[in-house]
Chains A and B, each alone.
Chain A
Amino acid sequence: MFNGVRGIYLRETLILRKKLVKTVLASAVSPALFLIAFGYGVGQGAQVNGHDYLLFLLPGLLTMSSMNQSYGIATEINISRFYFKVFEEYLLAPLKRWEIVVAEMFYGVTKGLIPVVIIGIYTLLCGVQLTFGVRFLVALLLHLAIFSLLGLITALLVRNHSDQALMNSFLITPMMFLSGTFFPVEKMPVVIRAVAALSPLTYSTRLIRSTLIGDMAVNNALFPLLAVMVVVLFIVAYRVVNRVQI
């Protein structure tokens, strides 16, 4: 039982361990640049809803960077499927297809935790006070599960590497900029708000930010909303994996 989950998760994490330095550096550089450009450049001295902009920005960077890492499993699955053909090993093994979904989701969640640690360090360096509590942890895990599953689904739906890159451009980049990472969505024009409403990152950013900033009201309704997204995406991922042939 769960041999598939164990085997696939072990494989993914062993490879992650071999590439840990690269992964940590990749997770560290981009948020650091955003922090410098937006936090200390454009946003210096600015306030958002009564909070210092840096306090507003850091949780956004945390959700954005962790989303990038979790969703980033898409590229890895894509390469292992089309280039190294390692994915065939999973299809040949006597395992239930849902085990592939669970294992890849766990891996995506694991990978998404790396930038969380890095942003945590940045937070200390910036002298910003964030509250890393249980509600934050639950919100974070739901957020990472959503984007891991989204990564798995897109990786299995596309037919080649360039389609994968296209998906990243059309899905992930707009989400990064329109989901409340750098500015409050509520203050944007109605068209942008409508687009943001379609992005799961909007809801997870809102929830994670509110759990991290001590005096911000947490909208508890977002917990079940994210949980429903996880369930729906899990079902979709299972159906996609079930249909996969080489």
Chain B
Amino acid sequence: MMEEMGRSVLLEVGNIVTASYLNALSHLTNLAFLPDPPLLVVDMAGAILGTVLAETNVAEDHILVLKTAFVTATGNIEGNFLIIPDQNTLDIIVRMLVNGACQ
């Protein structure tokens, strides 16, 4: 398992990436996104994703997946950044993105 320092670095990186991502999404959609305090879990990908889906109480079968690359001076980091909004928020985001693209 990961040591304390590694965990806190991941938490902080997650916090920064999420905040800047939500910021960018705010600009794109003209909506305000408010992040909750970050949480870190190290486990099976499926278990984490399933739990997040269950916790957000998704009744629907669609999520928004944005593919992201993390590029740094010393190398690229492989990973996936997933945004799982609830259905209302997803509708709003999609509507704003589509309208934005048409202008």
The answer to whether A and B belong to the same complex is: no
Q: Which residues of B pack against A, CB within 8 Å?
A: none
